[in-house]
A and B are shown apart, each in its own frame.
Chain A
């Protein structure tokens, strides 16, 4: 990892290699010929994008949002409703899913950033539950707890491999865009806010504006991830907005490492894989996830990528000395 702990070091040759390797890996998955792997990789890309949107708030800006599922779900319902009611075709509806996520963040953001720390977290949770409640109860509009089934995406995207490449073609540019945001002057301010909000104010920066902007950008990418998922499963459910979904991306990010850029993607991969593998043998897979989380917190205190990065550095240090 040339990404450094903050995931903000300038691009170098190692950086390009890392991105190339990741892209190559995902591009080659369909060659395995197993649709199971393709489906899983597709879900990893979508959840990875969702988790990265969360990490822009948490790992980068230091805002622990427990309501990220609201933006994800609203993106999914944007696609589900627009397509289901035959208002827009899939590509146009998908384009609107990040807009919907951003708009929701623009509404909820100012209410949440009034407070900081754990109070901010509680507000995000409360407002996200409110949105979930609306989606869950409003049968006439959202279908309530029936969700929306059989979302009519174009037939050309029904083929799993084709939809997989469709996801890949959207997800990777999004990863790159997020990376660029983190490395930008704007991103430098976000990281300053994480490190020392008070000092950031003394630089003449109005912190809340930047926190709101981070929420809007994060909401947009979460919404897009939701829109991609709606096209992937062609059925959506209010569970996508539930707090457990918000908890899932927190888990993924922490497990992968919140201070490395690809950490959340790696975390998404690990959790989805374990869920699926263990889910085959026991319905109590959550216990296993809990146990594995415990082991990771003990043995990988900075997340999988963060700890691995530390090992590499120490090893290089020894070689150098």
Chain B
């Protein structure tokens, strides 16, 4: 991680706070994400991981603190505006358009990014470049054979990858994946891990993912941030995190330390 350090951070979170009633789900969280970073966010259930994604993408607005994307404040902006600036997101509970085909799911995202959705009198299926791009994205996520299937009828793992394809269709610079491997079989996990790593590399993305599978987390992350009770407990390289006393007591447990 030498070269990226010189460039300004893609995402900067400063003293971010959010409370639901008396419960502080995000408490003075500060960190910077370097361009091109592939990093994980871990922590026990209720640590505020998904809340953090919701704050970054504008689904929630923070009570305090700042969020900067490429040096500009984005906290408080509406979700569509943040998406347009280049933050794509896939969801913990898969979020697709169930009655539309897999291809239509991706195509509408491609059309949105290309600014073609104000077209009324041209068939969406006749927008050649966009159609091809959607086809390419499906192939990239190993869904080429499922293009005409209704998204809602696809197996869980396929829906998860479709969700990622939709997020990538926006050509985002920063991608947030919320438990991309949740509910997948071990084989699917292995494939998906490779896939994510390959896409991250090919598209030179900055990628942040939430994950509970520690083999995955420690296997592919360059950097790990640990949240606990709404606070950033620690961050560092996988080696540093695996030796961090605080993290071990709060989350990892003893057995991970050799």
* A interface list, Cβ under 8 A from B: 5-6, 8, 10-11, 177, 180-181, 183-189, 191-192, 195-196, 198-199, 201-207, 210, 259
Contacts and interface: CB of A to CB of B under 8 A. Distances in A.
A204 B115 CA distance: 10
Nearest to A193: B97
Contacts of B57: 202
Contacts of B112: 189, 203-205
Interface of B: 57, 59, 78-81, 83-84, 88-89, 91, 95-100, 104, 107-109, 111-113, 116-125, 127, 130, 166-167, 169-170
B61 to A, nearest CB: 14
A180 B99 contact: no
B97 A186 contact: no
Contacts of B97: 191-192, 195-196, 199
A282 B116 CA distance: 54
A226 to B, nearest CB: 22
A287 to B, nearest CB: 35
B153 to A, nearest CB: 11
B124 A185 contact: yes
A186 B116 CA distance: 8
A309 to B, nearest CB: 13
Contact of B109 (A6, A198, A203): A203
Contacts of A181: 120-121
A180 B125 CA distance: 11
B96 A199 contact: yes
A257 B82 CA distance: 37
A195 B81 CA distance: 21
B123 A201 contact: no
Contacts of B95: 196, 198-199, 202
- Dominant SS at the A interface? helix
Contacts of B169: 203
Contact of B80 (A180, A187, A195, A206): A206
Contact of A205 (B91, B117, B124): B117
Contact of A196 (B96, B121, B124): B96
Contacts of A203: 80, 83, 108-109, 112-113, 166, 169-170
Interface hub of A11, A183, A204, A205 (most chain B Cβ within 10 A): A204
A188 B111 contact: yes
B79 A184 contact: no
A6 B125 CA distance: 14
B70 to A, nearest CB: 16
A206 B117 CA distance: 11
A184 B89 contact: no
Given A201-B83, A202-B83, A203-B83, A189 B117 contact: yes
Contacts of B98: 195-196
30 contacts: A5-B99, A10-B125, A11-B123, A181-B120, A184-B124, A185-B122, A185-B124, A186-B118, A186-B119, A188-B108, A188-B117, A189-B112, A191-B99, A191-B100, A195-B98, A196-B95, A198-B59, A199-B97, A199-B166, A201-B78, A201-B79, A202-B80, A202-B88, A202-B167, A203-B109, A203-B112, A203-B170, A204-B84, A204-B113, A210-B117
Contacts of B167: 202
Given A195-B100, A202-B167, 12 more contacts: A6-B100, A8-B104, A11-B123, A180-B121, A184-B122, A184-B123, A188-B107, A192-B97, A196-B96, A199-B91, A199-B97, A205-B80
Contacts of A6: 99-100
Which 7 residue pairs spanning A and B have beta carbons closest together? A195-B97, A204-B83, A204-B84, A185-B111, A203-B112, A188-B108, A201-B79
Nearest to A259: B99
Contacts of A187: 120, 124
A183 B124 contact: yes
B89 to A, nearest CB: 6
